[in-house]
Amino acid sequence: MGDDMSDDGRGTYRHERAPGRQRRRFPGISSRAYEHPADRSALVALRRLSGFDTVFKALSGLLPERSLRLLFLSDSVRVSDQQFGHLNVMLRDACYILDLEAVPQMYVTQDPQPNAMCVGLDEPVIVVTTGLVELLDEEEMRAVVGHEVGHALSGHAVYRTVLLFLTQLAVRVAWIPLGNLAVMGIVTALREWFRKSELSADRAGLLVGQDLRASLRGLMKMAGGNHLHEMNVDAFLEQAEEYEAGGDLRDSVLKILNVLPRSHPFAAVRAAELKRWAESRDHQRIMDGHYPRRGEDKDAGVGDSFRDSAAHYAGQVRNSKDPLMKLVTDLAGGAGDLGDRVRRGFNGFTAPRKGGGPVDTPPQEDPAPGTRDTPPRDED
């Protein structure tokens, strides 16, 4: 493959000519094409959070972005034709497929924890750890690189940088009365948005790699490590189905509590969500060349995003197997047996068995379920 990029003098590469590729390309694609409705909704809610605009504007001028770039330059390996050449090819391919003109700089940093991120205010920078490079095969890694390029195209890097800074700040001001409370309120809202943005970036990774099994394998390895011969993608997806449908209202509440401290959704949940989108009409339309263009972004109203989000959530609640979501559906529909189910307690909302009706056991004196005190993982 010949050199198809030119340096603009600032270390940013731009397309000169496009090399031959087998994968489909999406000229002028808007990030709206693949963004998850919950991503856009959470971002709108975040921007409406009291005090967020003030904090964001203040941090935009204070964040040490120049220092961050110097740190990567001095203590990581910059991806290029000479260093990690296979990653450089993947990066340029991903930018070509999603038609991102300015190719972000990419660094590999020594860290056994598999991770990747896209940060930066003015120009996004992609960072991957050695643990991730060693964990994934070529096609799995291609999906991850596409995932990070999707973050760049969507403009997620700015808010991700703010989240990283505020997370560190929250630790430093924890001793100040009410100070940590104020910071953590914004951090919690940022995490909620970022978890949703990961679903968008997973879709971008699939558009780049165009290999669903590779994307799912990568997520499975994030959960179970480099033991592919001991794992099975279909069984992993069955886990996700069991997680989403199983248990009673107590489990539904515990699911919410478990995910709150995390910056990323659970790997099995991401896999199931990506598979659903890959099988959807929306994904097929993009693959057929029918998708919104960046040139139309200025004409896209906020109302459209709200309607898309509302329709998404309505469908999610209606089709969900989660007991809490079923309760919401019953409340909205005025279910005749709702009062009786409430009187019977949590077991009245137990999820249905596979191939059968609802589990209708009498209330029992079960011990209160515990939760694993697992530190939050921060991986893509």
* CA proximity to 146, closest of 175, 180, 106, 111: 106
Distances (CA, A) of 177 to 29, 32, 70, 182: 47, 41, 34, 10
Please work out, in degrees rounded to the nearest 5, the angle formed at the alpha carbon of residue 327 by the alpha carbons of 321 and 333. Answer: 105
138 is a catalytic site residue: no
Query: The tokens of 248 are what?
Result: 């009673």
* CA separation for the pair 172, 180 (Å, rounded): 8
The sheet with strand 125-129 has its strands ordered as 77-78, 105-109, 125-129, 116-119
Contacts of 273 by beta carbon, 8 Å cutoff, 6+ apart: 199, 202, 265
**Alpha-carbon distance 311 to 99, whole Å?**
29
Instruction: Say if CB 213 and CB 167 are below 8 A apart.
Output: no
**What single letter denotes the amino acid at residue 49?**
L
Q: In the chain, how long is the greatest CA-to-CA distance?
A: 72
**DSSP one-letter code for 113:** S
Q: 148, 192, 273, 379: which one is catalytic?
A: 148
Alpha carbon 181 to its chain centroid, in Å, reads: 26
* Cα angle 80, 143, 135; round to 5: 80
Cβ neighbours of residue 240 closer than 8 Å, sequence gap 6 or more: 268, 269, 271, 272
State the residue for tokens 């189910």.
341
Which residues are part of the catalytic machinery? 148
